[in-house]
Structure 1
Amino acid sequence: MEYTGSSFTAWLQADHPDLLPFGRAPLAAPWGQPQGGGSGAGTLAPHGTTILAMTYGGGVLMAGDRRATMGNVIASRHIEKVYPADSYSVLGVAGTAGIALDVMRLFQVELEHYEKIEGTLLSLEGKANRLGAMVRDNLPRAVQGLAVLPLFAGYDTTRAVGRIFSYDVTGGRYEEIEHHTVGSGSAFARGALKKLWRPHLTEEEAVRVAVESLFDAADDDAATGGPDAIRRLWPVIMTVGSAGHRRIPEHQLAEVCESVLAARSAVGREA
């Protein structure tokens, strides 16, 4: 217990590095492939896909589909990729699902530990920087094909605005303006956001835009799961504003998704 700072991750790195998601022994290469080959290791684990975030009049919204894939197989239709990080921020995880979820849980503990030690919340900039350091620590596994690409968003209480941060595989942090997407369906979701997003959306309007964008991503990207009316599976959508984070309830999402489905079905019949 020599480390006395406020970072839980730094304490683990000093005393128990084997407990970190990126501190375990390197993976063995699949039979018949060279050690360190990214493509082989990456295809053995489920991957989470499309995440999007956008600002709106009251703060920031983040949404993710529910599908995880393993090669050409659907590994799960129920995975959740958007989580609260703390009271005023949310985290979306794309990439290798198992490592991404471990990093997400570690980040939650990191922020909670800081609050207990320091007696105050870490600033939004500080949260974004600490998450970047975690992504950088995962670089050796990313080279093996086990990358984690988070999308981070929160409500900046000092500026009273929602802010969005994206990352590259080396932990580079970039602040995004208006909206951003990550994952295999990101290009299609971003195209929809460019057409549908506008400044000062209400929360209800932002939820509709998110659902429309995920519909477009699922329409063109096989790894992205669209809203499933048969199984009653809807995206996970969270908002963050001056009152903290809020998960959009299932019944509200069902109404929005079914409205979008009905509108698109009507257009198809007319065509």
Structure 2
Amino acid sequence: MDNTRGISGPALPAAYFSSATSSFSDFLRVQAPELLPERRVAPGVAELGIPHGTTIVACTYAGGVLIAGDRRATSGNLIASRDIEKVHVTDEYSAVGIAGTAGLAVEMVRLYAVELAHYEKIEGVSLSLDGKTNKLAGMVKANLEMAMAGLAAIPLFVGYDLEAEDAKHAGRIVSYDAAGGRYEENGGYASIGSGSLFAKSALKKLHDPDADVEGAVRVAVEALYDAADDDTASGGPDLVRRIFPSVVTINAEHGAVQLSESETAAVAEAVVAGRIERQQRRLS
């Protein structure tokens, strides 16, 4: 059989050239189901000490939205990793932060990024922002059996809506529950993970929807610092090892951009210096 280029040799099956579905997961389910993430779990697997990710924060600012996460993963009372990446750019105008079972969550967000790219290649246009959030909701729901066994993987979605009437408020945040429930965060900020209670309290006091991107990044790092201060499973800025939070900003001009280590280091060092100065004033 000749392939599509007229070169002698085995050709790919016709399904590989079909545009019947724009879902990469649906394509794999038919053509190579063994490549899909395994969703069946044996009893007791949640007790194996699998690493878990912790705190993610997101907030809007004037003309955009950002998402940030600490770098620690824990296994019970132990630190499994100090520099895990929990915030991922998923396409030109969206990003996802992950909390919960680290392996499943990372696998989910990588497949999600492929889903978005595959849809754009098949359809010739990007999925709408509502379509992106609904697609992610379906992937979270598909993990329900694992979640019920104690292996939940929870994402926090941020994106810039190119179709929004008011560009100043085009940044959107969507959270999910373990069953795939989708919730628009209209307050302008959100947090998930074990330190979310403390991070959200900080965001409630510090968030300014009219702030510039630099001010918003500072607020996000302050919130992560507060989470790490009270939650043992969340990691704050590590000045000794030079490990700092991951931050992704999204706006119309630049799209989704992950801040460099030097940029986040400068903000984190300023936050730590401010906390030291505050403590010194309190003790003097």
TM-score bin, normalised by smaller chain: over 0.9
Q: Contact 1:42 / 1:96 at 8 angstroms: preserved in 2?
A: no
Matches within 5 A, 1:122-201: 122-159=127-164, 160=167, 161-177=170-186, 178-201=188-211
Structure 1 stretches lacking a partner, 5+ long = 31-39
TM-score, normalisation: structure 1 = 0.93
Matches within 5 A, 1:47-66: 47-66=52-71
Q: Which of the two has higher C-alpha Rg?
A: 2
Q: Contact 1:181 / 1:189 at 8 angstroms: preserved in 2?
A: yes
Of all paired residues, the percent bearing the same amino acid is 54
Matches within 5 A, 1:39-78: 41=46, 44-78=49-83
Secondary structure of the structure 1 residue equivalent to 2:191: strand
Aligned partner of 1:18 among 34, 38, 58:
34
Secondary structure of the structure 1 residue equivalent to 2:233: coil
TM-score, normalisation: structure 2 = 0.88
Kindly tell me: are residues 28 and 153 of structure 1, through their superposed partners in 2, closer, same or farther at Cα, counting changes over 3 Å?
A: same
Kindly tell me: are residues 110 and 42 of structure 1, through their superposed partners in 2, closer, same or farther at Cα, counting changes over 3 Å?
A: farther
Secondary structure of the structure 1 residue equivalent to 2:242: coil
Q: Which amino acid aligns with 2:189?
A: H
- Please state if 1:233 is matched with 2:243: yes
Provide runs of 4+ in structure 1 moved above 3 Å: none
Residue 6 of structure 1 is matched in structure 2 by 22
Residue 256 of structure 1 and its aligned partner are, at CA, apart by 1.3
Paired positions, count: 260
Paired with 1:187 and 1:90, the residues of 2 have a C-alpha distance of 22
Q: CA RMSD in A?
A: 1.4
Q: Contact 2:56 / 2:67 at 8 angstroms: preserved in 1?
A: yes
Structure 2 stretches lacking a partner, 5+ long = 1-14
Superimposed CA distance per residue, residues 198-241 of structure 1 (whole angstroms, 9 cap, x where no aligned partner): 12110000010011000000000000000000111000000011
Q: Contact 2:61 / 2:211 at 8 angstroms: preserved in 1?
A: yes
Paired with 2:41 and 2:105, the residues of 1 have a C-alpha distance of 16
- Please state if 1:269 is matched with 2:280: yes
Superimposed CA distance per residue, residues 142-185 of structure 1 (whole angstroms, 9 cap, x where no aligned partner): 11111010000100001131001100111010110200000000
